[in-house]
Amino acid sequence: MTDPAVPADRAEPSDRAAGALILAGTPLGRISDASPGLARALADADVIAAEDTRRFLRLAADLGVDLHAKVVSFYESVEAARVPGLVDRIAGGQRVVLVTDAGMPSVSDPGYTLVAAVAAAGLAVTSVPGPSAVITALALSGLPSDRFTFEGFPPRKTGERTRAFGALRTEARTMVFFESVHRIGESLAAMAAVFGADRPAAVCRELTKTHEEVRRGPLGELAAWAADGLRGEITVVVAGSSGAGDAPPDDATLLAEIAALVAGGKSRRDAVDQVAATYDLNRRSVYALATARR
């Protein structure tokens, strides 16, 4: 029974009489990092929505949890279809625990739409706090952590990725990104071209796992180091702009972005205007560069 001295929104998930959505943080690597609260929430759940059911069942077995819950998949492709049914279960008094493959649900993982739907229905949402790759990498990076921005995964397409970095070129806060093993070399090279090869950064790989590695240095050096690809789960932390001396993107980067905008349907003139505005460059100089290389 819930302690009447504890506000309802602060009660332990396992103590709730009414239905609730419980966001459960799972270990990034070591099973020993799992909290007792995670095992308790899983054991007490009526339904467990898991990003990868097979991976979750291995986790539950490693934790020694005797599951009584119905386990359903909850990954990107089925997320929208699953939400109404899960909301109905919560409204009916059941406890639904959401787990993703590692870290906290809804942080570049499935979960946001379910949280929003449950909250909109006036139902309870709580959590079993757990590890976060964002905070762990930020703390290990050695870069300023008093103010930061989490940018998730950069766009996959070259032009879109360059534009996304361009919009962040003067961001003063430390920036945290996720990236896949297949695109890390390209992303670091694009960061070096847009933010400047000397901008301090850190690449954090396989956090809390056996082969954990944190490589710190200027973006240019990190891009060269990762050019042939890396293995494992990767988080990149990049220092914010100092506000002075930020190098403008090189000509190749500007031309690539203009070409991408033109390929996307913009006129060359509009593409030049957008690129010049993004990087606060003289429009005539950018236009001269674009026409000279045609």
pLDDT digits (tens, 9 = 90+) for 103-137: 888 777 788 899 999 999 999 999 998 888 999 99
Residues 127 and 139 in one domain: no
CATH number at residue 39: 3.40.1010.10
| pLDDT at 102 > cutoff 90 | no
The pair of three-digit structure tokens given for residue 67, joined into one six-digit string: 């599951």
Residues 178 and 288 in one domain: no
Look at residue 167 in the predicted model and tell me its pLDDT: 86
Total domains in the fold of the chain: 3
Residues 12 and 89 in one domain: yes
**22 SS3 class:** strand
Look at residue 16 in the predicted model and tell me its pLDDT: 46
Which domain covers residue 67, as residue numbers?
8-131
pLDDT band at 228 (very low <50, low <70, confident <90, very high): confident
Calculate mean pLDDT across residues 69-94.
94
Is 139 a domain residue?
A: yes
Read off the pLDDT of residues 182-227 as tens digits, 9 standing for 90 and up: 999 999 999 998 898 899 999 999 998 888 999 999 999 999 999 8
Is 1 a domain residue?
A: no
Is 3 a domain residue?
A: no
**200 SS3 class:** strand
Is 213 a domain residue?
A: yes
- Single out the residue in 98, 131, 164 at which a domain terminates: 131
Read off the pLDDT of residues 230-251 as tens digits, 9 standing for 90 and up: 888 999 999 999 875 566 677 8
Residues 222 and 278 in one domain: no
Residues 147 and 225 in one domain: yes
Radius of gyration of the chain (CA): 23
Residues 125 and 138 in one domain: no
Query: How confident is the prediction for the chain on average, in pLDDT?
Result: 86
- Single out the residue in 75, 107, 131 at which a domain terminates: 131
| pLDDT at 85 > cutoff 60 | yes
83-93 in b/e burial notation, b at 16+ Cβ within 10 A? Answer: beebbebbeee
Please report where in the chains the tokens 């919560």 appear, as a residue: 90
Percentage of the chain beyond pLDDT 70 is 91
Report the amino acid identity of residue 211: H
Residues 188 and 125 in one domain: no
Is 163 a domain residue?
A: yes
Is 244 a domain residue?
A: no
The pair of three-digit structure tokens given for residue 150, joined into one six-digit string: 């989490």
Read off the pLDDT of residues 171-185 as tens digits, 9 standing for 90 and up: 999 999 999 999 999
The structure's pTM equals 0.74
Residues 163 and 107 in one domain: no
Residues 138 and 193 in one domain: yes
Is 170 a domain residue?
A: yes
- Written as one string, the DSSP assignment of 28-80 is SS-GGG--HHHHHHHHH-SEEEESSHHHHHHHHHHHT----SEEEE--TTTHH
Q: Distances in Å between the alpha carbon of 45 and those of 81, 111, 183?
A: 21, 17, 38
Residues 142 and 174 in one domain: yes
Residues 152 and 204 in one domain: yes
Residues 115 and 41 in one domain: yes
Calculate mean pLDDT across residues 2-19.
49
CATH number at residue 162: 3.30.950.10
- Single out the residue in 102, 131, 160 at which a domain terminates: 131
Q: Which of 47-56, 91-100, 205-214 has the lowest mean pLDDT?
A: 205-214
